[in-house]
Structure 1
Amino acid sequence: MTQATIHSTICKSGYTATIRPPASVTGAEKKLSEKSYGTTSSPNVTEYDHLLSLEDGGDPNDPKNLWPEPPDPGHTHGINNAKDPVETRLKQAVCSGKVTLAAAQQALVSDWTTALARLGLK
């Protein structure tokens, strides 16, 4: 993924659906990943998430880009995490030209909790 390809990839509606790996692939990877993290989970509360989200140009198939993300503290039913809206906001900023793809990706993987503020988007 490069700055030159964003309009035919991440900025194109429906793009992530075309590259998202199926659960039949990620299910086995999730179990191995949880084992390496020393955790176990219920599939209804833990999301097998991309560290660098697909909507921000992350590699859909690299196991190093996937991790079992627990729900936000206090959330007990279903998958819910505060990282998702940050990922969406970064994609919108990239597609509108407010920030570069590289800057958004770096901010997201460095510390997603401060990414928007560091890029002046909050």
Structure 2
Amino acid sequence: MQAQPAPGSCTYRYTADKQPLPDPKCTPGALNPKVTQATLKSTVCTSGYTATIRPPVSITGPEKTANAKSYGYTGPMGDAEYDHLVSLVLGGDPDDPRNIWTEDDRGSFGAHDKDRLENYLHRAVCAGTMSLHTAQVAIASD
């Protein structure tokens, strides 16, 4: 299990329409050094790749609970996703605490909507219509 920021040390930011965003000091994003523009075909653009690097729930479950305390999240854990800021399909680090936060999925643009955006960016990267770096910056900067 990766150590998480201290309880109460992270503060959600909010968009104009009150959607939660991670604290950039606690969750600035972190990249997987094995994923580069040159390795796309053997990493993120290979079907099933993320299953080979995603940590098991036995690790992420306790991390999610600790990270929720970092952010002061008090809602039901079932309404939150332990989410990668830079998703695995865009070369985000799978278990670096700087890349993962407890995202409340109860707003009008929640984790599932972000997943659709990540998938769109992933398709563009793998089709060669967008660079990996551009997609990573886009998703990390909200």
Partner of 2:120: 89
Percent identical residues: 53
CA distance in 2, matches of 1:48, 1:12: 24
How far residue 61 of structure 1 moved from its aligned partner, in angstroms, is: 1.2
How far residue 80 of structure 1 moved from its aligned partner, in angstroms, is: 5.3
How far residue 74 of structure 1 moved from its aligned partner, in angstroms, is: 5.6
CA 1:96 to 1:23, structure 2 compared with 1: closer, same or farther past 3 Å?
A: same
The number of residue pairs the alignment matches comes to 108
Following TM superposition, where does structure 1 have runs of at least 4 consecutive aligned residues deviating by more than 6 angstroms? none
TM-score w.r.t. the length of structure 1 is: 0.82
- Tell me if structure 2 keeps the 8 A contact 1:72–1:82: no
RMSD between aligned residues? 1.7
| Helix, strand or coil at the partner of 1:73 | coil
| Alignment of 1:12 onto 2:46 | yes
User: Given residue 117 of structure 2, which amino acid in structure 1 is its aligned partner?
Assistant: V
Which residue of 62, 65, 86 corresponds with 1:52? 86
Partner of 1:101: 132
1:27-70 deviation per Cα after TM superposition (whole angstroms, max 9, x unaligned): 11111111111113433221111010001110001011110111
TM-score w.r.t. the length of structure 2 is: 0.71
CA 1:37 to 1:90, structure 2 compared with 1: closer, same or farther past 3 Å?
A: same
Q: Which residues of structure 2 form unaligned runs of 5+?
A: 1-34
Which stretch shows the higher mean deviation, 53-62 or 63-72? 63-72
| Alignment of 1:21 onto 2:55 | yes
- Work out which structure has the larger RCO, using CA pairs closer than 8 Å and 6 or more positions apart in sequence: 2
> Which one has the bigger helix percentage?
1
Partner of 1:37: 71
Q: Which residues of structure 1 form unaligned runs of 5+?
A: 112-122
